[in-house]
Structure 1
Amino acid sequence: MVSDEIPSRFEQLWDVSQAAEYMKVSANTLYGWRCRKYGPPSYRLGNKVRYRPDEVRDWVTAQEVRAWVEYQSAWAS
């Protein structure tokens, strides 16, 4: 999800490399996801892309849950 909403200036934001490191993917993967409107919410601040750490963590957790549900449903069939 790409958002033009700017988070509170008092929050610490991650740059692309920090978010990529947390998710164990490359920065290029994150840029690609952003172009396809996939991945955690991101914010453009000037010419920089930033991520809120809590939103990145929530997105990763949601992907883990989704993968687990898909795994279980595959075995139930």
Structure 2
Amino acid sequence: MAQTTWHAVQPYVRTRLGRDDMAPIQPCQSAEGARRLAERLVESGSAIGAVALTRVVDLEEGEYADPEVLASFGRVPCEDVDLPF
């Protein structure tokens, strides 16, 4: 098995209609980079919330482990929301 680990940030934004919604997911090079980006997006006001994620994948087998939340900042939905990562 050729496993690799993906790291990413899922930002959340307020839409023009006043709803909270997912913004495009942003890939990161490392777990620490994902944590820093998530925090920076919220602190700068670019997002109302952000979740830093990591996920182990095996592209050869097509197997994807469940995403693991590394850190959460600001306003994010419940943990049971399906993440697109």
Pairwise TM-score range, normalised by the shorter structure: under 0.3
> Could you tell me the TM-score, scaled by structure 2's length?
0.24
Structure with more contact order per residue of length (Cα contacts < 8 Å, sep ≥ 6): 1
> Could you tell me the TM-score, scaled by structure 1's length?
0.25
Which of the two has greater helix per residue?
1
